[in-house]
Amino acid sequence: MKSDEERSRLLEDSLIEVAVETWRFSRLFARVVNKLDAGEQSKYANQLRYFQKKVEEQLEASGFKLVSVEGQPFDPGIAAAAVNLGDFGPEEQLLVEQMVEPIIMGTEGLRRQGTVLLRKVHS
């Protein structure tokens, strides 16, 4: 039999996993919506925004927040692993081009590290 602490941890881990998969699905859905004609795009984009807002509200009520660093300068200290970091030299200035997985923050700090793709900053 699991203790209350073990059950609580399992529920938290499950919620985090559902949040990440929901985030991935939302991004996929957004790409599909962008391929529709303008009239259809608007309808589905509004539904997607509503869905994302409801998910964010429920996560915040549970003490969690999805964090994206897309478009920001890359710093090795961010809470995300860079999939393609080895493709760049140590002196190159890098930008987070895409979030592959979001960073999950909780009331007590980092709950799950994110994953990013980088690109070189064009000067």
If asked whether residues 121 and 69 sit together in one domain, one would say: yes
Q: Domain end: 62, 81, 108, which one? A: 62
If asked whether residues 5 and 40 sit together in one domain, one would say: yes
Helix, strand, coil share (%) of the chain residues, nearest 5: 45, 25, 30
User: Tens-digit pLDDT profile for the chain (123 aa)?
Assistant: 779 999 999 999 999 999 999 999 999 999 999 999 988 999 999 999 999 999 999 999 999 999 999 999 999 899 999 999 999 998 899 999 999 999 999 999 999 999 999 999 986
Q: Which residues of 63-87 are buried (b: 16+ CB within 10 A; e: fewer)?
A: ebbbeebeeeebeeebebebeeeee
One-letter amino acid of 95: L
One-letter amino acid of 16: I
Assign residue 35 a region (left: φ > 0; alpha: ψ between -120 and 50; beta: otherwise): alpha
Which residues constitute the domain of residue 72?
63-123
pTM: 0.85
Q: CA angle, 40 as apex, 39 and 45 as ends, to 5°? A: 110
Q: Domain end: 62, 82, 111, which one? A: 62
If asked whether residues 51 and 102 sit together in one domain, one would say: no
In this prediction, residue 123 carries a pLDDT of 60
In this prediction, residue 35 carries a pLDDT of 95
Look at residues 31, 110, 121 and name the one whose alpha carbon lies nearest to residue 67. Answer: 110
One-letter amino acid of 96: V
Q: Domain end: 28, 46, 62, which one? A: 62
In this prediction, residue 2 carries a pLDDT of 77
If asked whether residues 45 and 57 sit together in one domain, one would say: yes
CATH code at 73? 2.30.22
